[in-house]
Homo-oligomer: A and B are copies of this chain.
Amino acid sequence: MRMSQGVEWALHCCLNLAWAGEPVPAARLAELNDLPPAYLGKQLQHLARAGLVVSVSGPRGGFRLARPAEEISVLEVVDAIEGATPAFQCTEIRRRGPLAASPKACRTACQIAQVMDRADAAWRRELAAVSVADIAAEVGEQLPAVPVAIGGWLRQPRA
């Protein structure tokens, strides 16, 4: 069970966009983080479709946050990249084989699936409780220079 690499990229980019405050091209975000430009653009498209960022075409265009960073949770970013399908998918094994459970007996969800769903809910609860702004604030506390440096670098007109 490995989470997509794009989630880490997307979260870093959300922080970068929060510090920039204005549209930033995908290529510039890629350069800042030393990532493949084309593929990063694909991940940002996922964020755009989920309504977390808005894309601006043409010169001076790029991506910017669609909402204040306080209103974007980490869970939303994860779901935008990974899709919201739960990690565990019950295939109803109890209904298969020679001793298959009758449909009537399956009125309640499979107990195994219930446990997995509880764990998944706890996981999502933790991620939903943290916003992009929370992470940005933590970084700002420990290393105040980083936000201004990145923000300035992103806003500088390209050579």
Contact = CB atoms under 8 A, between A and B. Distances in A.
A78 B108 CA distance: 23
A66 interface: no
A101 B115 CA distance: 41
A2 B5 contact: no
Interface in A94-127: 94, 96-99, 101, 105, 108, 111-112, 115-116, 118-120, 122-127
A1 B82 CA distance: 6
A2 B89 contact: yes
A39 interface: no
A58 B90 CA distance: 33
Contacts of A96: 33-35
A66 to B, nearest CB: 20
Contacts of A32: 97-99
A87 B1 contact: yes
Nearest to A105: B143
Contacts of A2: 1, 85, 87, 89
Contacts of A105: 143, 146
Given A5-B91, A9-B93, 17 more contacts: A2-B85, A8-B88, A8-B91, A8-B93, A12-B93, A15-B112, A31-B98, A32-B97, A34-B93, A35-B96, A74-B115, A99-B149, A115-B127, A118-B126, A119-B126, A119-B127, A123-B123
10 closest Cβ contacts across the A-B interface?
Answer: A34-B96, A119-B126, A123-B123, A34-B97, A3-B87, A122-B122, A111-B138, A1-B3, A122-B126, A111-B135
